[in-house]
Amino acid sequence: MTELQITDAKVDKKIDLLLELAPAPQLSPELHNKISRNLTASLRPVKPLPVTRVLVGQFGAIFLLFAAALIAMMGVTGIRTLDAWQAFGILAILTLGVLLLSVILAWQIRPGTKQQIPAKLSWACFGVGFLSGVALLFPWREGEAFVSRGWPCLLSGSAVAIPGGILFWLLTRRGVPLSATAFGGTLGAIAGLLGVTVLQFRCIHQDAAHLLVWHGGVLVLAIAAGVLVARVLEPGIRWSRLTIGGKRTREL
Amino acid sequence: MAHPVRLANEITSDFGANARPEDAFGDTAQRTREDEDRLRKLMVRYQQGDAEAVEILVTRLSPPLLRFCLGPDLSRSDAEDLLQECWLRIHRARHTYLPSEPLLPWIYAVARHTRLDAYRRRRRLGSREVLTAGPPEPVAVGPAPESGVMELLNRLPDGQRDVIVMLKVVGLSLEEVARATASTPGAIKQKAHRAYASLRKMLTADGPREKGML
């Protein structure tokens, strides 16, 4: 009968106590000295990574500059065909997207950061925002030559996304992303967004179906490519420059 | 090996119902605010290149990190190798620590991924290994000997084990564990709840003679 009276709370209390009392394993002096020696051998002052809002500002500014340069090169014929509401709406969606993805990227490159929105959820949020914004703002027209007009957009958007991805990868190189999937996907998303932004200014086919499939496709492709590349290169992208006392850690 | 439940009862009776575990042992699992501040200051000195700070941090953080590295499928020497790799990664990533943020979630985020990478590496190597006809005599290197409760923890899935070690052994808060695992406090709470349910089952299933002691 005693067994039946044991409550979960009582067992939990015992477990808590046992866990708190579990003795920590002791380190041998040799191991301790070896670790200390290895660390102090290459010890030099380092400049800490800037705070999140500074990183977000940097990413936003670089995005803006790069997008402006590409738009200047590729033209603005597309944005001229839009009315004021459409232009304001799509620019607001793109701006919010840049801000959101910059914040997520800044969180990704610093271990132990409080991530209020998981990376995958942020991609989904932006995707849903983009889809619903385009569906509401732009007209649904009968699609003539849907594929032949569409694939050049997919190609040129992807062509913009590739250098964009490389640029943001260079910008985040000082960081230490721990999740390859989240980091690669976010990097891909921000590069894809760059492609979508340039297309939005350039493309003259401003109807909902075209934008959703061919411009949205750039975003999907870029995220998928980002995840794939990061997973293939992992863990090299994180710890490739891991050197102690002039030696690569693999040599130690 | 003493059964965990019996051990807990003995300790409780020796030190009274209100005794705190740290009264019994010098080392405490519950961190104080001062402790946290001291660690942060040491980490800042480490970033500035102070060798003495490195020494203190290694002394202070290595035992709990080694505990974190010890797992069901690792020998003590493997865990020590992992600890070294962990420190090298901490060293490599030290510039990403922000002094205004808590230190331990940052440390354990790096440690957790070091362990995860080592696990993946072992799995990859294991899948490539080709067995020969006459293998040499196996060297008797089993898992590291552990105290009763840690043995129980090792039977949990990795994710749940990590959460319980960080929450209850290291003494991190729910939010800190969420930071270390890039998760949310709600998800951590759920994992801890599941882990406790499994531990409860294990305790009652493993020690039928001990049930009366609960």
Contact indicator for A226, A165 with CB cutoff of 8 Å: yes
pLDDT at A164 over 60: yes
pLDDT in tens, A33-74: 999 998 998 888 999 999 999 999 999 999 999 999 999 998
Strand partners, A248: A243
Mean pLDDT taken over chain B: 75
B68 alpha-carbon distance from chain centroid: 2
A23 alpha-carbon distance from chain centroid: 40
Distance from CA of B144 to the nearest CA of A (A): 10
Residue B180, CA atoms < 13 Å, CB-side half-sphere: 30
Q: Is B30 on the interface with A (CB under 8 A)?
A: yes
Q: How far apart are the first and last CA of chain B?
A: 18
Mean pLDDT taken over chain A: 85
Query: Which DSSP string do the residues of chain A spell out, in sequence order?
Result: -TGGG--HHHHHHHHHHHHHHPPPPPPPHHHHHHHHHHHHHT----PPPPPHHHHHHHHHHHHHHHHHHHHHHH--HHHHTS-HHHHHHHHHHHHHHHHHHHHHHHHHTSTT---SS-HHHHHHHHHHHHHHHHHHHS-----SSHHHHHHHHHHHHHHHHHHHHHHHHHHTTTS--S-HHHHHHHHHHHHHHHHHHHHHHH-S---HHHIIIIIHHHHHHHHHHHHHHHHHHTTHHHHTT-EETTEEGGG-
Structure tokens at A27: 């380190």
Q: Is B205 on the interface with A (CB under 8 A)?
A: no
Query: Which DSSP string do the residues of B88-127 spell out, in sequence order?
Result: HHHHHTGGG--TTS-HHHHHHHHHHHHHHHHHHHHHHHHH
The confidence band for B143, taking pLDDT boundaries of 50, 70 and 90, is very low
Q: Is B101 on the interface with A (CB under 8 A)?
A: yes
Backbone φ and ψ of A206, nearest 5°: -95, 60
Q: What is the mean pLDDT of residues B95-124?
A: 88
Which residues in A lie closer than 8 A to residue B204 (C-beta atoms)?
Answer: 6, 11
pLDDT in tens, A221-244: 999 999 999 888 875 555 554 444
Residue B121 carries which side chain, given as an amino acid letter? R
* Nearest CA-CA partner of A223 in A188, A173, A175: A188
pLDDT at B75 over 70: yes
What is the sign of the dihedral through the CA atoms of A111, A46, A236 and A124? Answer: positive
Q: What is the pLDDT of residue A80?
A: 86
pTM of full prediction above 0.90: no
Which residues in B lie closer than 8 A to residue A34 (C-beta atoms)?
Answer: 84
DSSP state of B142: -
Least confident residue range of A168-182, B140-154, B162-176:
B140-154
Q: What is the pLDDT of residue B135?
A: 56
Out of B93, B101, B168, closest to residue A20 by CB:
B168
Contact indicator for A157, A195 with CB cutoff of 8 Å: yes
**Interface touch B214/A14, C-beta < 8 Å:** yes
Contact indicator for A99, A60 with CB cutoff of 8 Å: yes
pLDDT at B17 over 50: no
Residues 6+ apart with CB under 8 A from A172: A105, A108, A109, A183, A187
Out of A10, A40, A113, closest to residue B54 by CB:
A40
DSSP state of B166: I
**Interface touch A36/B55, C-beta < 8 Å:** yes
Residue with tokens 């940097």: A58
Q: Which residue has the higher pLDDT, A194 or B207?
A: A194
